Amino acid sequence: MSQTGSVISLEHDTPELARSYDEAGLVQFRHGKFLIGPLAIKSGEHVLDIGTGTGRLAEFVTGLVGPNGRVTGIDPLAGRIEIARLRQSDNLQFDTGRAEDLSRFADGQFDAVYLNSVFHWIADKDRALREIRRVLKPGGRLGLNVQDPSRPHQSRVLLRQAIAEAGLADRRQDSNPVLGSTDEELKALFAANGFTGYRSELRALVDIHDDAASLLRWSEASAFGNFLEAFSATERNLVHQAFAKLVEDRRTPEGLSLERYLRFAFARKAPASN
Ligand SMILES: C[S@@+](CC[C@H](N)C(=O)[O-])C[C@H]1O[C@@H](n2cnc3c(N)ncnc32)[C@H](O)[C@@H]1O
């Protein structure tokens, strides 16, 4: 992992964060479509959405596989799966589960697997990729997008600055890690785990937020609570105030405009790798 000294916990999520993620989840949905396009999902296919969150993108993919296909979404957070299940249908199923353990699925079951804004959170990426390769059909497609630590989001850079201005820079590493994988790391991981035809592209995405408070709520909900949690309430308040001043400089007539960078990576299960 590229982050130093940080442990991501699945225990910080709350029903409120899950609800707020679903309400603001259009941001991830929008960039998720850039992931789905190149996967060329066809009618009748069986697709696995790992880290499906509240299931918005999986529901969209169900429209691509049609009535003869099937989409399965898994996520470790029970509160998010509870919301996702409101979207459930005959060919769209959701369950709790993690990328590192896909033992409930048979070998060679899926035509395509994708992870939208999920891979940077996975602790054991080798294990996850081994499992994904196992459940893919020979030649099956994998698509994911991931933060690239060499290109942190603008909001992360400003947050780091806000933490420094609040006099808390010495604790920054633990509380504001930049997660993710570089192109070289991804390429090596994919090759080591039996994928072929790796290609990737770093995309700049522009997000518009109403104000600093809504941007911070969105960041916390997207990180299922792994966000500034090492700070006390008073310290967080200081960081929030400094951050609000910094992001206000980015106001455009549409709202606060900030760039995020995501690396989109695609590959196939090597036909003879089973
Ligand atoms: C930013 S959300 C993205 C949700 C969804 N893919 C979307 O497009 O809206 C990140 C998701 O990754 C999930 N996640 C974290 N660790 C995971 C793991 N080890 N395996 C699978 N999913 C994981 C979280 O529970 C969370 O729902």
Q: Whose CA is nearest to atom 1 of ligand 1?
A: 222
Q: Contact, 131 vs 104, CB < 8 A? A: no
Token duo for residue 220: 């916390």
Q: Distance between CA 173 and CA 185 in Å, rounded?
A: 21
How many angstroms separate the alpha carbon of residue 188 from the centre of ligand 1?
22
Let me know if residue 164 belongs to a domain.
yes
Q: How far is CA 126 from the centre of its chain?
A: 17
Let me know if residue 194 belongs to a domain.
yes
Let me know if residue 204 belongs to a domain.
yes
Q: Distance between CA 267 and CA 202 in Å, rounded?
A: 15
Give the mutation target among 26, 29, 121, 217 for probing the ligand 1 site: most ligand atoms within 8 A of CB.
121
pLDDT computed for residue 1 by the predictor:
31
Let me know if residue 2 belongs to a domain.
no
Q: Contact, 71 vs 61, CB < 8 A? A: yes
CATH for 163: 3.40.50.150
Residues with CB under 6 A from ligand 1: 25, 28, 32, 50-53, 56-57, 75-77, 80, 98-100, 116-118, 121-122, 222, 224
Q: Domain count of the chain?
A: 1
Domain range spanning residue 171? 15-269
Q: Whose CA is nearest to atom 24 of ligand 1?
A: 51
Let me know if residue 189 belongs to a domain.
yes
Q: H or E stretch including 60?
A: helix 56-65
Give the mutation target among 75, 130, 219 for probing the ligand 1 site: most ligand atoms within 8 A of CB.
75
Let me know if residue 7 belongs to a domain.
no
How many angstroms separate the alpha carbon of residue 51 from the centre of ligand 1?
3
Let me know if residue 9 belongs to a domain.
no
Which atom, in ligand 1's list, is nearest to the CA of 76?
25
pLDDT computed for residue 6 by the predictor:
56
pLDDT tens for each residue of the chain, 274 residues long: 333 345 788 999 999 999 999 988 788 899 999 999 999 999 999 999 999 999 999 999 999 999 999 999 999 999 999 999 999 999 999 999 999 999 999 999 999 999 999 999 999 999 999 999 999 999 999 999 999 998 989 998 999 999 999 999 876 555 555 689 999 999 999 999 999 999 999 999 998 999 999 999 999 999 998 888 888 999 999 999 999 999 998 899 999 999 999 999 999 998 864 4
pLDDT computed for residue 24 by the predictor:
82
